């Protein structure tokens, strides 16, 4: 069981990646939001990948951070891709019907490939 929360960020080509590790709850959601804001407030990015494969739990506050990020990126005409594996996060997205709104991939490589210029929508 992962007991601490960590957030890593980096650029992959023109896109930004945020990888969270640990339980995403009320106590740590502001930290994730701050890191996402920092990445998005920097040089413009056409897409953001949020890797949640090492997040075993997400509460409503954590989910709110993800929804807020999706809204912000849509308003900026940018893409957000969540990387999730089987488990709690996938189930949470399904039962809240958010799986219909978020673009989801099963691996970081798949997400980055989807954001490659040759795969952009339109």
Q: In this structure, what token pair is assigned to residue 78?
A: 């940018």
Domain assignment present for residue 14? The answer is yes
Note down the domain range covering 34: 6-115
Q: Does residue 26 sit in helix, strand or coil?
A: coil
Torsion sign across C-alpha atoms 70, 74, 77, 79 = positive
State how many domains the chain has.
1
Task: Yes or no: say if 13 and 46 are a contact pair by the CB < 8 Å rule.
Answer: no
Per the domain annotation, does 1 fall within a domain? no
Is residue 122 included in any domain, yes or no? no
Chain segment 82-109, per-residue pLDDT in tens: 999 999 999 999 999 999 999 999 999 9
Question: Residue 56 maps to which CATH number?
Answer: 3.30.750.24
With respect to residue 51, please indicate whether it lies within any of the assigned structural domains: yes
pLDDT of 37-58, one tens digit each?
999 987 678 899 999 999 999 9
| Residue 68: Cβ within 10 Å count | 13
């Amino acid at each position: 069981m992962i007991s601490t929360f960590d957030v890593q960020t980096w650029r992959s080509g023109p896109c930004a990646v945020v990888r969270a590790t640990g339980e995403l709850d009320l106590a740590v959601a502001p930290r994730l939001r701050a890191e996402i804001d920092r990445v998005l407030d920097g040089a413009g990015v056409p897409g953001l990948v949020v890797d949640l494969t090492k997040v075993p739990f997400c509460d409503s506050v954590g989910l709110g951070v993800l929804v807020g990020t999706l809204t912000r990126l849509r308003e900026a005409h940018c893409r957000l891709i969540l990387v999730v594996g089987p488990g709690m996060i996938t189930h949470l997205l399904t039962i809240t019907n958010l799986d219909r709104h978020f673009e989801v991939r099963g691996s970081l490589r798949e997400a980055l490939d989807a954001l490659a210029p040759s795969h952009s929508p339109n």
